[in-house]
Amino acid sequence: MSGHAFLAVDLTTQERHALSAALQDASPGSPVPGKRQPPENWHLTLRFLGETSVTTGEVLLREIEEAVDLAPGRVKGVGLGVFPRPARASVLYVRIDDPTELLTRLAARCEAAARDVGFTPEERPFVPHLTLSRLRPAQDLRGLLDTFGDFDVAIAVTGVTLFRTRRSRSRLWYEAIDTVDLVGVGS
């Protein structure tokens, strides 16, 4: 598997359109700054993996299938946020409202499976989000965050997808390798 791999919740075409429309409606008029992610690349990252072989990816998906006993659910995109802080933002993202902590529990199970397969533990705490753009160099986005409206877009959480990053001369895209569906009822 060439390229970096990651585990994520994929969005449907309908969810991408709804989120695009909500972002446009909530915008104070200025374009989203930075290098924007095209809607076809939008996803909710659960665990970044880095360079991963096909075999390791297959083993990881089997581990996840055994570890994930969660039922499908819904979360909501509700507004904008930034990493690491508004005065020096390097990532602009959609904040995700996860009241049942479904994504947090799912990310924890993916983290445990990744460790079981031999990945180094993730050091950063999990924050449910959808990356909109990356800013190089970092920018002060306090004004944008103050004027950008909130919104409410439902996103179904129905599975964990293994993606790999693909690159051509003109673009970057994420290829879905396989998905483990959520079918359980555990917590």
Residue 1 has pLDDT above 80, yes or no: no
Q: Tokens in use for 108?
A: 């924890």
The domain that holds 9 is classified in CATH as 3.90.1140.10
List residues with catalytic annotation: 43, 129
Which run of H or of E encompasses 113? helix 102-117
Give the range of the structural domain holding residue 115, as residue numbers without chain letter.
4-181
Q: Are 173 and 10 a contacting pair, CB within 8 Å?
A: no
Q: What is the pLDDT of residues 114-154, one digit of tens each?
A: 999 999 999 999 999 999 999 999 999 999 999 998 999 99
Is there a domain that residue 139 lies in? yes
Is there a domain that residue 11 lies in? yes
Domain count, the chain: 1
- Would you give the end-to-end CA distance of the chain in angstroms? 32
CB atoms under 10 Å from CB of 77, counted, come to 27
pLDDT score at 172: 82
As a whole number, the mean pLDDT across the chain is: 92
